[in-house]
Chain A
Amino acid sequence: MPDQRPQKPQQTPITAGFMPLLDAALLIVAHEKGFCESRGIALKLVRETSWATLRDRMTVGHFDVAHMLAPMPIAAALGSGPMYAPMIVPMALGLGGNAVTVSNALFHEMCDYGAVDSGDAKLNGLALAKALAGRAAAGRKKSTIGIVHRFSSHNFELRYWLQASGIVPDRDIDLTVVPPPFMADALAAGHIDGFCVGEPWNSVAVERGVGNIVTTKSSIWRSSPDKVLAVGQQWAEQNRQALAALMQALVEAAIWCGNGANIEQLASILSAPGYLDQPAAILRRGLSGEMPFRRGGPIQKVPDFLIYDGRAATFPWVSHALWYYTQMVRWKLFTHSNKAIAAARQCYRPDIYRAALAGSGIAIPSVSMKVEGALSEPTIVSDGEFRLTLGPDGFFDGQKFDPDLIEDYIFAHK
């Protein structure tokens, strides 16, 4: 029965768009557990079916904030086509959370070339390269891999993995966009040979017996960024206090989601028809990082599959924005210029994060950039009032990204 009591008058309404993915959890939990309400925020959540609509509804002001693919606000700042209202990124919504799944047929071919069960990015990347070369030698048509959006972490991490494994993305395969809920169907129907998507959509394909997870984002690049909180720049300027209150609620939600004791309850909340609308048991796999990679296969324990809390998982690292920028240049989506670097850099707002969350009881990094891929094990970086541990954050090929040497990095990838 709907609650007929009027809202408390002092509640500030905020409307947030989200896509049905595990990393929408912070927004959903902040609402469901009352973390917003207790801070005077009436959060209204609206589920969307495409990133394009999420972006358009941000532009016309239907949404104040949104769960968004990290590269999207950056691409908008760099002028990806038509005019969109500028967005800023004052916080991230976690690290990791997606995986690469291939068809049963392609997996069997990969097994002939040493594919392993563990999802090791290096070994399975080499196996995939050999399997694809085998297909080409046999005169078979190019394989197709599904991604969720051109400006997605998936596109860039997948391309990074393929290229470093000896597969040239724009030459050796076709990349196509498929909406996440249709990935398993497209794989089953043979329209695509594999895909890179956020959970729970890999596990959905595994459960249906149509796909095999061959690697995870955490194996390609440990502790790497994926979704962010995108905020309309104008709205952020006019509603600084409400934004701060929302961010505090989201951080409280991150701590709650990151607590292993809450996994069952979290899976149950997210599984509701209005949210992810998938069985809790399937959601649990990505949440716990304990997941079978093929139907009936052994449970793989994936370290850091999805990180909600700790290790600055919600901090908007400017070095993350710049890494995405280098990849957009690498794959010829934008031309490199100092002006473009500045636009990408200004999109991420660690200053707002610090101002909103100072004194909220979490460890906040004192710097805004770090060398990505530099930490091979968890490292204590500050030991003041709140201990901050970062990493491990390595790329599978051992490369590092130093944001101060951005041109060297771009040049090395040419």
Chain B
Amino acid sequence: MSSEDLSILVIDQDQLRASILEDGFREAGYQRVSVLKDIDMIMKRIVEIDPDVIFIDLENPNRDVLEHMFQVSRTVQRPVAMFVDQSDTAMIEAAIDAGVSTYIVDGLKKERIKSILDTTISRFNAVNRLREELEQTKNELAERKLIDRAKGILMQARNLSEEDAYKLLRKTAMDQNRKVARVAESLVLTAGLLKD
């Protein structure tokens, strides 16, 4: 059996991430990749899939269920959480940092899964970064809106030009050692209070 014949199972509630990971494995030449979104009927599926390696996202509450099944089942080979020995500590840490937990069938040589673990970690990290960027973009948009509203309030209340209103916000932020967006937020909130 060549490395590419390894049977891989991905359990991830995040469908986008799961399909990105699946693509990664296929690109690398792995043919036997299965993806499960939830764990309904999982034992039956695991028997059918007979995976050598299982990846499950760390935030999945069903990890405890999965581990219990491995421990009590006699119908599947017993995959174990990948904390096998001290030599792969760095690898395991990288996986946990990325948010994925790995189970491998007892006795499977570590070298055989190194490349798929690498793929998993890098894809998980890539998706995490994407999510963070998306979150950041959302925040930046929200901040820009806040600053615009604060400028509008100042322009009206102090009869300032847009440029002067922004300068005043920026100066206040620098004096108070705060971000412009936070000063704008305070102003918008306070203005809201005064209105009522």
Are both chains from one complex? Answer: yes
The answer on a CB contact under 8 Å between B185 and A179 is no
Q: Tell me the complex Cα distance, A178–B66, Å.
A: 10
Q: Tell me the complex Cα distance, A50–B67, Å.
A: 11
Q: Does B86 contact A (CB under 8 A)?
A: yes
In the complex, what residues of B have CB within 8 A of residue A113's CB? none
Partner of B83, one of A50, A84, A148, A182: A84
The answer on a CB contact under 8 Å between B101 and A53 is yes
Q: Tell me the complex Cα distance, A56–B186, Å.
A: 41
Q: Min CB distance, A332 to chain B, in Å? A: 11
Q: Does A82 contact B (CB under 8 A)?
A: yes
The answer on a CB contact under 8 Å between A60 and B92 is yes
Q: Min CB distance, A78 to chain B, in Å? A: 14
The answer on a CB contact under 8 Å between B101 and A56 is yes
In the complex, what residues of B have CB within 8 A of residue A83's CB? 83-86
The answer on a CB contact under 8 Å between B178 and A52 is no
Partner of A179, one of B61, B178, B186: B61
Q: Tell me the complex Cα distance, A150–B70, Å.
A: 11
The answer on a CB contact under 8 Å between B189 and A1 is yes
In the complex, what residues of A have CB within 8 A of residue B64's CB? 50-52, 148-149, 177, 179
Partner of B186, one of A1, A52, A82: A1
Q: Does B71 contact A (CB under 8 A)?
A: yes
Partner of A49, one of B59, B83, B86, B179: B59
Taking each of B60, B63, B89, B178, which has the highest tally of chain A beta carbons within 10 Å of its own beta carbon? B63
Q: Which of A166-199 contact B (CB under 8 A)?
A: 176-179, 181-182
Partner of B62, one of A4, A50, A61, A149: A50
With known contacts A1-B185, A4-B178, A83-B84, A52–B93 Cβ distance under 8 A: no
Q: Does A57 contact B (CB under 8 A)?
A: yes
The answer on a CB contact under 8 Å between A53 and B81 is no
Q: Does A296 contact B (CB under 8 A)?
A: no
The answer on a CB contact under 8 Å between B63 and A52 is yes
Q: Min CB distance, B6 to chain A, in Å? A: 20
Q: Does B68 contact A (CB under 8 A)?
A: yes
Q: Does B105 contact A (CB under 8 A)?
A: no
With known contacts A57-B96, A60-B93, A149–B80 Cβ distance under 8 A: no
The answer on a CB contact under 8 Å between A53 and B59 is yes
Chain B, interface residues (CB within 8 Å), range: 20 to 34
Q: Does A81 contact B (CB under 8 A)?
A: yes
With known contacts A1-B185, A81-B80, A182-B61, A52–B96 Cβ distance under 8 A: no
Q: Does B182 contact A (CB under 8 A)?
A: yes
Q: Does B82 contact A (CB under 8 A)?
A: yes
The answer on a CB contact under 8 Å between A60 and B60 is no
Q: Tell me the complex Cα distance, A60–B100, Å.
A: 13
In the complex, what residues of A have CB within 8 A of residue B186's CB? 1
The answer on a CB contact under 8 Å between A177 and B84 is no
Q: Does B58 contact A (CB under 8 A)?
A: yes
In the complex, what residues of A have CB within 8 A of residue B89's CB? 60
Q: Does A59 contact B (CB under 8 A)?
A: yes
Closest to B89 in A: A60
Partner of A4, one of B61, B67, B92, B182: B182
The answer on a CB contact under 8 Å between A53 and B80 is no
Q: Does B65 contact A (CB under 8 A)?
A: yes
In the complex, what residues of B have CB within 8 A of residue A150's CB? 67-68, 71
Q: Min CB distance, B120 to chain A, in Å? A: 15
Partner of A56, one of B68, B85, B96: B96
23 intermolecular pairs with C-beta atoms under 8 Å apart: A1-B185, A4-B179, A4-B182, A49-B61, A49-B63, A50-B62, A50-B64, A51-B64, A53-B59, A56-B81, A56-B101, A57-B58, A59-B83, A60-B96, A82-B80, A82-B81, A83-B84, A84-B83, A177-B65, A179-B61, A179-B62, A179-B64, A181-B61
If A49-B60, A50-B62 are given as contacts, then 18 extra A-B residue pairs at C-beta distance below 8 Å, sorted by A number, are A1-B182, A4-B178, A4-B179, A49-B63, A50-B64, A51-B64, A56-B83, A57-B58, A60-B96, A60-B97, A61-B93, A82-B81, A84-B83, A150-B68, A176-B68, A177-B64, A179-B61, A182-B61
